[in-house]
């Protein structure tokens, strides 16, 4: 039997062989330049999809609790706002002066002195101190102190001194004049603010 021989010079064999080499090279190029990157990208996208599905499952599991959490957040915010009115973030002298003045007017007392004093810093808060002097009738002074006790702001009164008004004469007191300021009161008032 005769051995088959391949003659590359034969055009009938050379053209199909050259076509086969071109097809193989094209397939190799397509595999390396198109298919492999697409496969890697597909794997990456599948991992991202799995991670996002897991996140979505967690969100859907927590979604029923969202309304509850919003209600708790609103309640906590309301509580914080009410605590800030009692224990503000900073010293509020103009607001305090307005409130003291309105309370004094409502109780028939006249404020004759309102001096801020140096603040005292504590570990967690600051004491805002004021020296105040008022004058008026004795019972009006009691009403004034009652109004101060009912402030939303925490207030401490100390170094209280109440004396007879020296400018009033005994004869006016005996005559029963209701318009006279019979007493002078001085005291230190302390409010509190949070330390940042």
pTM for this entry? 0.54
Q: Dig out the tokens for 92 from the structure.
A: 């509020």
Q: What is the pLDDT of residue 98?
A: 84
Q: Dig out the tokens for 60 from the structure.
A: 């859907």
CATH architecture of the domain formed by 93-194: 2-Layer Sandwich (3.30)
pLDDT tens string, the chain, 196 residues long: the values are: 556 666 667 777 778 888 888 999 999 998 888 888 889 999 999 999 999 999 999 888 888 888 888 888 898 888 877 766 666 666 777 888 888 888 888 888 988 888 888 988 888 888 889 999 999 998 999 999 998 888 878 888 999 999 888 776 554 545 555 556 789 999 999 988 877 6
Nearest to 151 by CA among 108, 110, 191, 109: 191
Q: Where are the domains of the chain?
A: 10-86, 93-194
**Cβ neighbours around 180 below 10 Å, total:** 17
Q: What is the pLDDT of residue 171?
A: 47
Q: Dig out the tokens for 28 from the structure.
A: 């190799």
Task: List helix spans (H) across the chain.
Answer: 11-30, 36-86, 93-107, 138-149, 170-175
């Amino acid at each position: 039997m005769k051995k088959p021989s391949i003659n590359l010079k034969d055009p009938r064999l050379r053209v199909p062989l050259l076509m086969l080499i071109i097809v193989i090279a094209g397939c190799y190029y397509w595999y390396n330049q198109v298919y492999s990157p697409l496969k890697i990208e597909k794997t990456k996208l599948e991992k991202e999809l799995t991670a996002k599905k897991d996140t979505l499952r967690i969100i859907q599991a927590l979604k029923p609790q969202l309304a509850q959490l919003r209600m708790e957040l609103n309640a906590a915010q309301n509580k914080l706002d009410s605590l800030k009115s009692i224990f503000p973030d900073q010293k509020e002298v103009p607001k305090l002066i307005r409130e003291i003045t309105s309370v004094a007017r409502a109780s028939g007392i006249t404020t004759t002195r309102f001096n801020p004093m140096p603040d005292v810093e504590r570990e967690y808060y600051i004491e805002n101190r004021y020296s105040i002097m008022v004058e008026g009738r004795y019972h009006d002074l009691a009403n004034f102190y009652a109004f101060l006790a009912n402030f939303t702001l925490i207030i401490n009164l100390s170094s209280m001194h109440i004396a007879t008004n020296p400018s009033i004469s005994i004869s006016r007191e005996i005559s029963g004049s209701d318009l006279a300021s019979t007493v002078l009161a001085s005291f230190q008032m302390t409010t509190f603010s949070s330390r940042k």
